[in-house]
Structure 1
């Protein structure tokens, strides 16, 4: 059975459904604030943009503080391509700023309060049903794959042989973030002996994959081929890279869309313990 799409590819960029819903909710908040603010002659757009920025900065700072040891320099702390954000930290930072603005600016209370309420309702009414429809505990798909040697294999049999949690990375050689995160996986595969890693190439042939591994001097185990990109369809992952985290019973416990850093991979692995 094909899963609900969990991500959307827009040209070379990929967005998770959760990210798109946040963008939608923020757009609703901006529109509502503009409409109510016009009636009260009080603009809210700048305040809402500041709120979003403060929430993002707060979420990033909390995440970095939690995984400080996984970053190797100041520039890596600023590289938000790894998706390292702490939702609770961002929520608290955003709510704190919103409360401060509502207290300091009485004229903005009605339009800003209406905008925030509309945004929260938009997010809740869209994200809630999707969470109910999408079973995060769904089992490993038995999509037919092949090894680099040409032998048939599937993920359930791999997981059964190893008897460990399984991390499945969907990637391609043409995908820049996929290429950047491969050394991160190589190191994790050497260090995390309690985890099995599988690298499922999407739509490319064995010669191209072997050439890429040789050129990059990568030593990865369980590099598999999905010539028809069927696994992406089954799991609902339409953008690459996508990394799926399954527990030892073969149940999906987490999904990461986009590039992984040492910190965000560590966060995903912690959820498998």
Structure 2
């Protein structure tokens, strides 16, 4: 399962963790003598989340500065999932400590809320990892090449596979195509399979030629079988399979160079060619 309704699973987990943190902060604050602390604790918790998320994003950008500097607009593409969580937690705690310097009673409930949110986020990540492990392997979906030769996706088993579900009418799909074109050159050990959903060979070729893209392994899935198999609720969707054909990561939405490289290094131990 890649999404819940129209939302990616990771976004749902993050929202749930923030909601848990807010609820715990208010619950603990209820035990304080000052009744106003309940509302203040909830507000301070949400403020700390904002500054924590901002710090986590900036920390990730610094970590992958070369990739983001090459495409500055990608810095604001937060849908790529690029956040350094521990920097965000530290920043949130420092913000709480600073803001509560004149009302130190708020520190305990807000820090308790942050701790609960972090634990909830880790628990959600663990559940997501289990879902990946129990998810379908690289499927035996029958597709075809642009010149109408039949092919099965399982033919790519035996090496890491990045399977991208896309369509030419999809704006974020179009924007991320150069990222995959570059990745094919930088990570030759990985198979980047670009599986078009629901379009004809003429439509796919017209887009690739119009954008002057040189992509390998562009395949056609006219009936969108792959989206049904993986429960994808939107495009683009990117799935990462290890050498044994096991699903190890998913991403719904646009990928940037930094986030793609980060996932390849984390999941496959792959470093780009110099």
| TM bucket, shorter chain | 0.7 to 0.9
Q: In structure 1, the residue corresponding to 2:243 is in which secondary structure?
A: coil
Q: In structure 2, the residue corresponding to 1:44 is in which secondary structure?
A: helix
Q: How does 1:24-103 map to 2 (within 5 A)?
A: 24-34=16-26, 40-42=35-37, 43-71=40-68, 72=70, 74-98=72-96, 100=98
Cα shift readout 1:130-158 (whole Å, capped 9, x = no counterpart)? 54444178631222222222222122213
- Residue matched to 2:141: 143
Runs of 4+ in 1 over 6 A off after TM superposition: none
RMSD over aligned CA atoms reads: 2.8
Aligned length: 262
Q: TM-score, normalised by structure 1?
A: 0.82
Change in 2 beyond 3 A, CA 1:101/1:142: farther
Cα shift readout 1:54-84 (whole Å, capped 9, x = no counterpart)? 2212211221122111121544434434332
Q: In structure 2, the residue corresponding to 1:135 is in which secondary structure?
A: helix
Change in 2 beyond 3 A, CA 1:45/1:65: same
Q: How does 1:1-273 map to 2 (within 5 A)?
A: 5-8=1-4, 10=6, 15-34=7-26, 40-42=35-37, 43-71=40-68, 72=70, 74-98=72-96, 100=98, 105-109=103-107, 111-113=109-111, 115-116=113-114, 119-120=117-118, 123=121, 128-135=126-133, 139-160=137-158, 164-271=159-266, 272=268, 273=270
Cα shift readout 1:204-225 (whole Å, capped 9, x = no counterpart)? 2222212211222222111111
Cα distance in 2 for residues equivalent to 1:75 and 1:183: 14
Cα distance in 2 for residues equivalent to 1:132 and 1:269: 19
* Structure 1 alignment gaps of length 5 or more: none
Q: Does the Cα contact within 8 Å between 2:132 and 2:247 map onto a contact in 1?
A: no
